[in-house]
Amino acid sequence: MGIGLGIDVFDCAVPTRLARHGVALAPEPDARFRVDLAKGRYEDSDEPIAEGCPCEACRRHSRAYLHYLARAKELTGSRLLTLHNLTYARPDRGSAGSDTFGEVQCSSEGDAGGTGTLGNLNRHIRLLLSAAAVATTACFASAPSATAAGEAFYGVSVLQTPSPAEFQTMSRGGVDTVRLPIYWEVIERTPGARAWSRYDALFAATATAGVEVLPILHLSPSWMNANVQRPPLGRPEDLEAWTRFAADFAARYGSGGTFWTLNPTIPARPLTAYQIWNEPNLRFFWGGKPNPKGYMRLLRAARAGLQQGDPAAQVVSGGLFREPRRGTGVSAVKFLDRMYRQPGARAAIDAVGLHPYASRPKGVVDAIAASRRVMRARKDAKAPVWVTEFGWAVAGLGLRGSPVRATPRQQAQRLKRTYRLLKARTDLRVKRAFWFSWRDFDSDPNAEEFWIYHMGLFDSAGNPRPAWNAFSAAAGGIP
């Protein structure tokens, strides 16, 4: 009615105010034409906000991705929901969201994109929104990244999935690469059915922040093995399913992956390397007695799938724990030597993963040197080493007996010293080093957790420790 009376400018804060709270306008009358995307029911929804809506949020993203951004209070989510709400509630829409009014009532002035007053206004709104979108995207895309400036080296491993804001903090602080666990069952909850929404949101957040990802393909789905730590080696069809999963994962997130082509507004940062399993030389993570021969079967099958999905995919072997306690596993050097005895081992491994935990920085270097001697003896001297975990604990149950205990100040000093030694010892060919961990495990505040959950650069509440300043200084970032 207002348009018919000649009103061509409307001032309303509803679209932006709703967007700030994670709410989108939608054709759902029972919910007052609103969708609260912060609610948990949308965590796994692959649907757009509104079918047929031409906005960027609906064309490019699922409700699950927008839910993730809303819960993390990420600015990108507010921007996308604002674009949607303005599109859905634009003044030239008729009742119940139809375009009839714009087509009929405004015909004398041209359509919404014509030369009349309303057409000019809509063009002006679109230009402003486009400029805002470009500015916002540029703000995120320009987050500093050492990968862009030179070869990536400084990384962090995580215990829990960081928020988009944490990925931004990583980028500013000099983190080149974040090591993230990828759980097969999250993607394939039932055999043959893929659901990508949760990891789509994750890779959108890391790419927007400008942080590279080293994924760890780890754990079997519970519908395959009751003990999910046990690898998919029980039956031939299990290993075939593992290969297909690896192929589909690389085809989606690797070079030229479908995720990047379907989301051109997200800065493309495809995966280049994949780590296969975690600490396979330990009983706990192998789900039984460690088996180097079985591990190489698993790795070769994963490599075949990854390179089917992305021929450029590189494979990092599972990080080997230095010296397990008696009865809990096989030492890193013994396990590595037995890996190399398997046919085609050198060709299958592009980088050797190590977890050289030690009481002092020199011990970390000594552990790497011991594994490097095995590699030279097995004629694989040129292969790089990726230290995918190292660190020191500052609190937690059993800290007194931990071989990697430290005070917060000692933790920072040892971090600084270790990175300096790894950069200096070029003969060890360490190409990347990941601190474990990014942040302490966030669980029951009334329960005292084991010391392994208290090795973070940040405590569980997100407060930085001195080690975060030491990390940023070493990596050339801003804490």
pLDDT 10s digits, 162-185: 999 999 999 999 999 999 999 999
pLDDT at 122: 43
Query: What residue ranges do the domains of the chain occupy?
Result: 14-140, 144-475
Q: Which of 152, 216, 145, 146 is nearest to 431 (CA)?
A: 152
Largest CA distance in the chain: 86
Of 72-86, 156-170, 280-294, 373-387, the range with the lowest mean pLDDT is: 72-86
Residue 448: both structure tokens together: 């005292």
Contact residues for 18 (Cβ-Cβ < 8 A; gap 6+): 24, 25, 34, 81, 85
What is the CATH architecture of 144-475?
Alpha-Beta Barrel (3.20)
pLDDT at 473: 97
Within 151-291, where are the H helices?
A: 164-173, 184-187, 197-209, 236-253, 258-262, 283-286
Q: 169 or 132: whose pLDDT is higher?
A: 169
What ranges make up the beta strands (E) of 141-195?
154-157, 177-183
What average pLDDT is seen over the chain? 85
Residue 160: both structure tokens together: 């829990």
pLDDT 10s digits, 228-260: 999 999 999 999 999 999 999 999 999 999 999
pLDDT at 12: 63
